[in-house]
Amino acid sequence: MGYVRSMISRLRLVAAAGTVMALMYAATGCAAEPPADAWVLAPISYDNRMDRDTGPSDFIDASYPMSLVSDTAGGFWGVSAGSWLHIDEDGTAVSRFNVDPGVPDGAIDAVTPTVLAIATGEGTPSYPGTILLFDTEAMSWEELYRDERALGDIATTSEDVYFVAYALEEPTFTIEKLTLAPDANPVTVSPTLDGHGPVDIDVDNSGMLYIATPAEHIILGPDGTIRSSEPVHSTHPRVAVNDRGDVAWSGQASTTTALPTFVSGGSAQARQIIDAHSECDPNNPQFSTQSIDHLTVSSSEESVTLPFLCAPAGLTWINDRELVVSVGDEGGAPLVRVTPPADSSLVVQSTR
């Protein structure tokens, strides 16, 4: 694992150097106003200096793939291979640090902007897990619960932590709920569900659970009853729900939707990466070795499968209208702020 982290770090140094060389902003879209019916894709530029680094600013907008979660206050956290980034609601990097190998690591979600819940474990029966609270200001960890099972993804509310627990001897899992209180024990809040692969979960304010597996999209009511189950294959399952109840899923789709887009700002490198992930043609050598996940955004009124930002590494809502999506690879992966058109009556047409 140390060798892999070292290789990733070296790759990231190369990518960062390439990014600095490419930080001349493209003229197209930098000054123009987006059309009213366009989905606006804006690469986020942030200061990549480490915390307590007093050197010159190091602004980049095409770093490396990240898992993303809301920080509960309009910003988000991005995490990858020991690298941690906190962008606040104003788009400012308020925290940027690396952690040493051996420090607790795993799936995260935010309890507050600076306190994160972590489910450790690697999703295998031989690797039991723990639930911890990580105070990112004090750089301290508090163990809440230890489980003999392997633990997967995690989702939080202001009072509870939900986490994936894999069965020890069969390819199934359940969702457990743990109250954020001393000496609390989890309770099972889902039926036993099939699958031992990667599972992504999120929870809304009413306690509805959203579950993405490599084969299904599942919605559970607060009582654990399955409200819906749709067969959807996914290479890297992702799901995120906002406070209004809109859901973004990743999955392989037979059709996408013709949507006008506008790339706002960004370096030449970031814009090139966004463009490369806009058509997602299976015949493109970049995508030919794997099935392609697309993003589907669903509200109570409509569901739209996006043709752009395919194969997302991470995604999260930062408010009731906007998503942030990480897309790309170790050679460059911008964090893209996605703003749907203001006109909610936009009519979309299927193209494939």
Going from the N-terminus, what domains does the chain have, and what CATH number goes with each? Answer: 1-64+247-352 (no CATH), 104-231 (2.120.10.30)
Q: Cα–Cα distance between 173 and 231 in angstroms, integer?
A: 17
Q: What is the pLDDT of residue 346?
A: 33
Residues comprising the chain, all counted:
352
Whole-prediction pTM value? 0.87
Q: Cα–Cα distance between 298 and 57 in angstroms, integer?
A: 39
Tell me which residue of 205, 227, 206 sits closest to 216, measured CA to CA: 227
Q: What is the pLDDT of residue 285?
A: 64
Tens digit of pLDDT per residue, the chain (352 long)?
A: 443 344 344 444 434 434 433 333 333 334 588 999 999 999 999 999 999 888 899 999 999 999 999 999 999 999 998 999 999 999 999 999 999 888 888 999 999 999 999 998 755 555 679 999 999 999 999 999 999 999 999 999 989 999 999 998 899 999 999 999 878 999 999 999 998 789 999 999 999 999 999 999 999 999 999 999 999 999 999 999 999 999 999 999 878 888 999 999 999 999 999 999 987 766 666 665 457 899 999 988 889 999 999 999 999 999 999 999 999 999 999 999 999 998 743 333 333 3
Q: What is the pLDDT of residue 15?
A: 43
CB-CB contact of 36 with 305 (8 Å): no
SS (H, E, C) 240-255: EECCCCCEEEEECCCC
- Judged by phi (left if over 0) then psi (alpha if -120 to 50, else beta), residue 173 lies in beta
Which residues are within 8 A (CB) of 34 and not within 5 positions of it... i.e. 6 or more apart? 40, 262, 264
Tell me which residue of 70, 14, 78 sits closest to 46, measured CA to CA: 78
